[in-house]
Amino acid sequence: MPEFTGSLRSLGSFDPGTLVDRGGMAESRIGLGGSVGDRRGGMWSCVTRSKSEVAENIQVAREFQAKLVDTFGEDIAKELSKDLKSHLEKGRPLSLYRLTTIVAKGRELAGHNIAQNDGVLKGAMPQILKGTGTHPPKVPNQEALEKAIRDALESDPEYLKARFTDSSDIIGTRFGKIAEEARDREVLRQMRPHSHRLVSPGLRKPTDSIALALQKMPPGLSDVQKQRFINGEKFLGEVQDLVTSPDLQPGDIQKGLDQLARMSELLKPGGSPTDDSCVCARPGEPPLSPEAEKRRDAMLKDMEHLRGALLERLGMEDGGGLSIAQGNAIRGLNTRLNTLDKEITDGSIDKAKVGEHLTAIRDEIEVLEGIATPTDAQQAVIDVLKARAEVIQGKLEMIALFDKYDVSPTDLAALGRMGVDISAMRPMLPSDPTTVDPHVKELVDGMKQLAGTHDALRTNQWDSEALDTSLDATLQALRDFQVTLDETVVPSGSTPFGDMIGTLKTETSKAIKDLEGAKVARERGFSSEQIREARENGVTDLKAFAERFSPEEVAILKENNIPSSIALQYKEAGLTITEELAVDEFTEDRVTGTPTPLSLSPGGPVRLQYNLGDDDVDDVRDVVFRPIKPGIPERTPAGTRLGIDESTGGALQRQQAVGRVDQLLTRAMGLDPDQGLVPQSRMGTHDGQLGIVTDFPRGEMSTTSGEHNLRTAGGTGRQELLRKLEEAEGDDPEVVSDELSLLLSQNKLERRVVDGTPEYIFKELPTDMNSPQLRRDMTRLQLLDALTGQVDRHPGNYVMVFDGRNYVGLRALDNEKCLGSHSDNPDLIGPPPGARDVQGVRLPSVIDKSMARAISNMRPDDLRESLQGCSEEEIQSALKRLEGLKTHVLKLETLGSVIEDNEWGSGEAIQASGDSRTSLLALSRELREYGRRVYLTGEGE
């Protein structure tokens, strides 16, 4: 049970005894029901002793009912009033125990409400985060953002009492507004967490951009423009943090210099269009609305204030003791160092200008050293710049020194990305700049090979053909370099050089392993694009990854653009990737709308819509997505005895095989393929998970499966139910119905969906169990189960679909427990003398001519083709069942028990559908009452 929040925490102190212990009322009992105030005599007189007691009972009842509404809300209180009304109308004494039981039921319903509402809120959260746009704001702490939204909603008492069925119950309502306001507040808090510090002494108070940020985004902005405003506020928050920091470290000073340069660009007329924090309208974009311009202007004013405060903090403000030349030198040197650092890192620096850069750096440092009496802040800035300049100078000098070894800046950049500090080689270089040391050259050549390989792997420069032709040569070169590294003598005390050799050894081993993995992957058929995608998605051992897939599987992965993360999920589930099991159309990029959870458990099934259309035409499919979970399911006695492969892979293949056999029978009976009984199963992806996609059943579902679930719920639930029934009238059908409904409402595994609204399947729907078409479809399902050897056909895994009272179709669910390799007899899935540990009925005693023709004319080769993916033993067992069915058809023809297709309303058909040993329909009827008897009396347990 989830932990209650807000007003629901008061449930722990809601004691009905406080309402009934006045004046001995706990001894006299009270009554409560519908129009309480109108009950003056009659049934009241049978449970009370005086008119004054009746009057007090009425008052207490009113208070109790009001307390229920106040604590649980209108919806739950209305549900609880049914129990009260039932007790009252039958003249039962409403004891303290009964009141406590009602409160306990309210707690249970409230707990379910909270869990269900949490699921709906989880589904609605993406839409709440992104608002009317298509992308949510990027904030440092997404988890804190979602928590702020949840906390704001749960602090509202009405939210805790509400009952949500889908995201529309939150979005677009007052709860949606609460969520949006909480979102905006938290986004601002994360962007500018220390706004209050700007009112500190010596700092100017900012303008009203903070207040504006608390409001909704200005209208008329695209998602990109909205993100720029968010980025701008975040940048201002970072500057505020720096300005108000009590102690600036060297890293803070460098950050402050960079912020000054950035603000100078942003404050120019038109801003800096390349900066993602610039809120100006770009060329080709519509002009900003007046509201957006007001927000922009407020941000720019804040920026001006912050720039002045930061200049003052760094000792660079006007009149702070620096000449114009000195101020320009600080800014110019910082800009130069930033540019050079970037060019050195990405390898784009021009070697011809290295000398020019070295001279400029020395000149600017000389200007800074000419400051006569720098303040502490100014000296800190100078020290930071000089230290950084020394590092950049060293890198520039190494570029010049290695030029004679034909090492490009690109190679040096690649080595830098690997963590190789080439400056460690400086002591080994000859003092004569024109001399080339052969030992150094051998080492440098290997480093160049490693650098080129690293960059080629990182950027996927090799296409498949180039990769194949260069793999062996590159591998050999790297192995030779490995030998060179092993033979390199590290001088005593040369720690930096020893560290560099160690790093090179590690990186060379990694590159060799990666290339060996790429070679295996190419041999298996992986393209260079697939190899790159696998690396980008965290595959570190490419060889081990590639060896998990056969060449045939690799071809299917490539054809369907299945990413490595999904490919690995196939293997974790024990699945062989076939054309049938490949994800083709139902990919997560085609999901539209908001997913609807169909389970209280995380990672359970969800209802989704996939748009399979193109740019011009929509083709939206309403489906149920069930994630595939790794691991091996527990073996069942029936599965073990009858040779059923109960692995995840086996279950999926059998589900699809059953669907093909169903279509084989459907077509053979002359029916349209859409009239099949088994929903089509395909593979799909959603939220990064592999799963099974099946069509979402439409219409209202019968109560049959719910009543079966009541029978099989078991555990302590039955004892608890019987305890609750002891005080009630045990044979009262209304009480039994209410209590059974309560029991089932706690069984979260037995949930279904009716027209997109999650609710418990126990629901009294008006169903016509005497439909001739229902009799026929049930018999079709029996034949399908007999042919496929289904051992777990109970009313909980098929659904009768009704339109009002009219039956419109049958859907067979959970069809994987079948097609065993030791299940030769099609008449084994019923009660004795059927097989043990199976659920279902035996072969039907009446069929129609289309069924007889479909079975009699079915060719073994057609059945074999439908069972592709099954083992030969499973296929042979199915062929034996087919022969057994053909024999049964001959027997029925001899007995005259084969009727016309339109005679399912005849007396013979009605009589046959009354035997629960040979009729699924009869079993469904029987269980409607049997489940209630079991829970009421224990009969049959």
Other beta carbons less than 10 A from residue 419's beta carbon: 12
Q: Output the average pLDDT for the chain.
A: 77
Cα 535 from Cα 462, distance rounded (Å): 14
> Confidence class of residue 121 from pLDDT cuts 50, 70 and 90?
confident
The answer to whether residue 127 scores a pLDDT higher than 90 is no
Percent of the chain exceeding pLDDT 70 equals: 74
Bridging pattern class, strands 591-597 and 606-611: antiparallel
Cα 737 from Cα 747, distance rounded (Å): 16
Give the 3-state secondary structure percentages of the chain, helix then strand then coil, rounded to 5.
Answer: 60, 5, 35
Residue 298, token pair as written in the block: 């407020």
pLDDT of residue 92: 57
Cα 200 from Cα 204, distance rounded (Å): 8
Tell which of 172, 191, 210 closes a domain.
Answer: 191
Tell which of 124, 156, 191 closes a domain.
Answer: 191
pLDDT of residue 493: 73
DSSP per-residue string spanning 24-80 = GHHHH-B---TTGGG--SGGGTTT-SSHHHHHHHHHHHHHHHHHHHHHH-HHHHHHH
Question: Where do runs of H (alpha helix) occur along 857-904?
Answer: 860-866, 872-895
Tell which of 158, 191, 224 closes a domain.
Answer: 191
Count Cβ neighbours within 10 Å for each residue of 663-697 and write b for 16 or more, e otherwise: bbbbebbeeeeeebbbbbbbbbbbeebbbbbbebb
> Does residue 897 lie in a domain region?
yes
> Does residue 505 lie in a domain region?
no
Region for 603 from its dihedrals, namely left if φ exceeds 0, alpha if ψ lies in -120 to 50, beta otherwise: left
pLDDT tens figures, 74-112: 778 887 877 766 665 555 555 677 778 888 888 888 777
Cα 171 from Cα 327, distance rounded (Å): 54
Residue 691: strand pairing partners: 627, 684
In this structure, of 34-43, 184-193, 273-282, the range with the lowest mean pLDDT score is: 34-43
Cα 658 from Cα 784, distance rounded (Å): 8
3-state SS, residue 789: coil
Cα 444 from Cα 780, distance rounded (Å): 77
DSSP per-residue string spanning 527-586 = -HHHHHHHHHTT---HHHHHTTS-HHHHHHHHHTT--HHHHHHHHHTT----TTTS--S-
> Does residue 307 lie in a domain region?
no
Distance of CA 470 to the CA centre of its chain: 41
In this structure, of 382-391, 870-879, 910-919, the range with the lowest mean pLDDT score is: 910-919
Region for 569 from its dihedrals, namely left if φ exceeds 0, alpha if ψ lies in -120 to 50, beta otherwise: alpha
Residue 913, token pair as written in the block: 């559908």
User: Residue 432 corresponds to which amino acid?
Assistant: D
> Confidence class of residue 747 from pLDDT cuts 50, 70 and 90?
very low
Taking Cα atoms as reference points, which of 512, 515, 424 lies closest to residue 462?
515
Residue numbers of the domain that contains 712: 640-680+696-941
Cα 678 from Cα 656, distance rounded (Å): 9
Angle at 324 between CA 319 and CA 330, to 5 degrees: 100
Query: Which H or E run contains 597?
Result: strand 591-597
> Does residue 71 lie in a domain region?
yes
What is the phi/psi pair of residue 896, to 5°? 75, 25
Cα 808 from Cα 802, distance rounded (Å): 5
> Does residue 327 lie in a domain region?
no
pLDDT of residue 183: 81
Sequence-ordered list of residues with C-beta below 8 angstroms from that of 545, at least 6 positions apart, any chain: 517, 521, 534, 539, 564, 568
Region 449-466 average pLDDT? 74
Cα 206 from Cα 196, distance rounded (Å): 10
Residue 562, token pair as written in the block: 């299945």
pLDDT of residue 485: 93
Taking Cα atoms as reference points, which of 440, 345, 349, 355 lies closest to residue 400?
355
In the chain, what is the greatest distance between 2 CA atoms, to the nearest angstrom?
120
> Does residue 378 lie in a domain region?
no
pLDDT of residue 853: 97
Domain count, the chain: 2
Location of structure tokens 């006695």: 637
pTM equals: 0.57
Bridging pattern class, strands 606-611 and 620-627: antiparallel
pLDDT tens figures, 46-75: 334 456 655 555 666 667 777 888 777 777
Other beta carbons less than 10 A from residue 141's beta carbon: 12
Location of structure tokens 């060179």: 484
Taking Cα atoms as reference points, which of 941, 931, 854 lies closest to residue 889?
854
Contact by Cβ (8 Å): 165, 187? no
Q: Crossing angle, helix 849-856 and helix 648-668, to 10 degrees?
A: 120
pLDDT tens figures, 668-715: 999 999 899 998 888 999 989 999 888 876 644 443 433 333 333 333
Burial of 862 (0-12, 13-18, 19+ CB in 10 A): middle
Residue 894, token pair as written in the block: 């001899």
User: Residue 44 corresponds to which amino acid?
Assistant: W
The answer to whether residue 727 scores a pLDDT higher than 50 is no
> Does residue 899 lie in a domain region?
yes
Location of structure tokens 């458990």: 601
Taking Cα atoms as reference points, which of 938, 933, 913, 918 lies closest to residue 832?
918
The answer to whether residue 5 scores a pLDDT higher than 60 is no
Looking at per-residue confidence, does 223 or 544 come out higher? 544
> Does residue 672 lie in a domain region?
yes
The answer to whether residue 421 scores a pLDDT higher than 70 is yes
Cα 755 from Cα 95, distance rounded (Å): 40
